[in-house]
Amino acid sequence: LANPAPPLDPNKPWILLGAGSGIAGVLAQLHARAQGPHSEGCWVIFGERDAQADLPYADLLANWQRQGMISRLDKTFSQLPRKPNGPCYVQDIVHSAAESIFAWIINGAQIYVCGSRAGLGVSVHEALVDLVGELKLTQMHTQGHYCRDVY
């Protein structure tokens, strides 16, 4: 699916997924949401390499979560020792939280993905296809409910 990503509707729930420098696009969406009313939930799923060295904007995200703008925040780190069946990458969280993500989608959530096309972009897209099917994901994209800012 092609870029560019249209603006998300702040009156709908959002699922924002990003990794690495993809935090920039996620933060841009969150900053836009912070400027107006945001009556629905916002779920951020973000991945980095190392929990000690790679926590960009951790305080800002935690503050938005405390304020209720972010209702759920999942972070994963690819270089942590992997637990059995535990998430390591963003797509692993998509798989492990599939039931909750599906419920959000049924309730009108818009999905925004930002990060590397070859890594995150492909893997998260495949995880979402596994979850809702290619046809539903294409429909969501056409309706502006599935936006990808991948590079």
The answer on pLDDT for 76 being more than 50 is yes
Cα of first residue to Cα of last residue in the chain, in angstroms, is 12
Q: What is the pLDDT of residues 79-127, one digit of tens each?
A: 766 666 655 899 999 999 999 999 999 999 999 999 999 989 999 999 9
What b/e readout covers 108-139, taking b as 16+ CB neighbours within 10 angstroms? ebbbbbbbbeebbbebbbebbeebbeeeebee
Say what the pTM is.
Answer: 0.90
The answer on pLDDT for 2 being more than 60 is no
Average pLDDT over residues 57-63: 88
The answer on pLDDT for 6 being more than 70 is no
Q: What is the pLDDT of residues 133-149, one digit of tens each?
A: 999 999 999 999 999 99
